[in-house]
Amino acid sequence: MIRVAFIHNNFPAGGAERITMDIAAYLSTQEGRYESYVYASRIASDKLPEDTGSTLTVRKIPTDKIPFRKAAAIRKLIQEDRIDILVQVVKRVKGIGQIRRRTGCKVVFANHGVPFWEEHAIIHRRRNNPAKKIFWKLLGKKIYLDMGRARKLAVRRSLRNYQDCDAYTVLCESYKRQICRELGIKPDASRVVSIYNPERSLPEVNYDKKNIVLFCGRLNAQKRVSRLLRIWAKVQDELPHWHLKIVGDGPDRPMAESMIRELGLQRVSLEGWRSDTAAYYQEASVLCLVSQYEGWPLALTEAQANGVIPIAFDCCDGVREILSPEGVHGFTVEPFNEDAFARTLVRVAGMSEEDKTEIRKNIVRRIRNFSPENTAREWARLFDRLYNEKR
């Protein structure tokens, strides 16, 4: 029996948590070979699927305020549950080196984002910190952005994460090459493993779409819904029979509400958080992704699975791989050209229904390459290898 635990801050919350549940669901079918656990600081029990208990055990980390106490609490859970492999999802657990040494469990760092995504977070925090705004204007922008300080810090953090794990997963081969190159690691001798995120094919897809443009995701600094609202301001008069629906919630919601009023936006609705987005994907014709950075954006593959034509800024290799070839599986736009995005949105909305249907059938066929079973099998192979090394 191989016991695997996944560490999350909030569970469930978004795409990374969905991936964990997909992996656990597959492992539960493997004739008693695996047991799956989730350790989370905050658990949204009302958002958990009803069948969660049949595939994994969810346990709350008793404390999350003081790092060394949180590390001790995680170590205790590992020992109580006799965990063999601990998966850090997206973020590093403080004190992971000591946890690894004292428990003897194997450690995986699962990077669900673009390599060195921390660079964007570092810049955002310093640029938007009220106490440091003057410093940012005088010196911070030059130091962290122009001189590359933020990038250097991100690379340093990634190297530390790599050194403190037994396997480091990324979302596609191009990310593996980038990680190895910038960390100075030989790819053949590295612990970096490429495993893409999965997407489920649907038994039936609705091709009779409505004139709806969809945004689906967290309303936060990464997703930049403000960009989409400015884009909508440019196109709303050219698309008088179309509606924009924004599904999701987060810290940027008040800003979005304010922008809708100030820009005089029409036919825009903030739908809030939804546990089941299927109804929106069934109706929508186009999905827009305007993020500052992404790794392997599930909003794009969810759209493809539902026959919704995706448009996204060409901000990373993951976006390019999902949407290529251009015009067949979706459309990419030069980062972060809002005028070009607006033109692309108008062009796609104005296509004939025959052309739209052809693209929709292309993307539905493509999604079969990303089945949860294929992805979960890759995770199972990794767990088997690490468990055999442990023995």
pLDDT per residue over 263-291, tens digit each? Answer: 999 999 999 988 789 999 999 999 999 99
pLDDT-above-70 percentage for the chain: 99
Residue 130 lies in a domain: no
The amino acid at residue 105 is: C
Q: In the prediction, which pLDDT does 183 show?
A: 93
Q: pTM (2 decimals)?
A: 0.81
Residue 125 lies in a domain: no
Q: What value does the mean pLDDT take over residues 42-52?
A: 85
Token output for 103: 């428990």
Token output for 276: 């089941």
Query: What is the C-alpha separation between 291 and 125, in angstroms, rounded?
Result: 17
Task: For residues 217 and 94, state if they share a domain.
Answer: no
Residue 151 lies in a domain: no
Q: Residue 78 sits in a domain of what CATH number? A: 3.40.50.2000
Task: For residues 182 and 327, state if they share a domain.
Answer: no
Q: Is the pLDDT of residue 391 over 70?
A: no
Task: For residues 272 and 299, state if they share a domain.
Answer: yes
Task: For residues 227 and 241, state if they share a domain.
Answer: yes
Do the beta carbons of residue 168 and residue 192 sit within 8 Å? yes
Task: For residues 88 and 103, state if they share a domain.
Answer: yes
Residue 145 lies in a domain: no
Do the beta carbons of residue 349 and residue 239 sit within 8 Å? yes
What is the domain count for the chain? 2
Q: Where residue 64 falls among pLDDT bands split at 50, 70, 90?
A: low
Work out the number of other CB atoms within 10 angstroms of the CB of residue 177.
16
Task: For residues 223 and 283, state if they share a domain.
Answer: yes
Task: For residues 180 and 216, state if they share a domain.
Answer: no
Q: Which of 3, 19, 69 is nearest to 374 (CA)?
A: 19
Task: For residues 187 and 298, state if they share a domain.
Answer: no
Residue 133 lies in a domain: no
Summarised one tens digit per residue, pLDDT across range 217-274 is 999 988 999 999 999 999 999 999 999 999 999 999 999 999 999 999 999 999 998 8
Task: For residues 32 and 175, state if they share a domain.
Answer: yes
Q: For the CA atoms of 250, 199, 28, 176, what is the dihedral angle to 10 degrees? A: -90
Residue 127 lies in a domain: no
Q: Which of 21, 122, 16, 90 is nearest to 376 (CA)?
A: 21
Helix axis angle for 253-262 and 225-235, nearest 10°, is 20
Q: Average pLDDT over the chain, rounded to whole?
A: 91
Task: For residues 360 and 223, state if they share a domain.
Answer: yes
Provide the 8-state DSSP code for 52.
Answer: G
Residue 75 lies in a domain: yes
Buried b (16+ CB within 10 A) or exposed e, 325-340: eeeebbbbbebeebee
Query: What is the C-alpha separation between 290 and 157, in angstroms, rounded?
Result: 26
Residue 245 lies in a domain: yes
| 380 SS3 class | helix
List the domain range (segments joined by +) for residue 232. Answer: 212-370
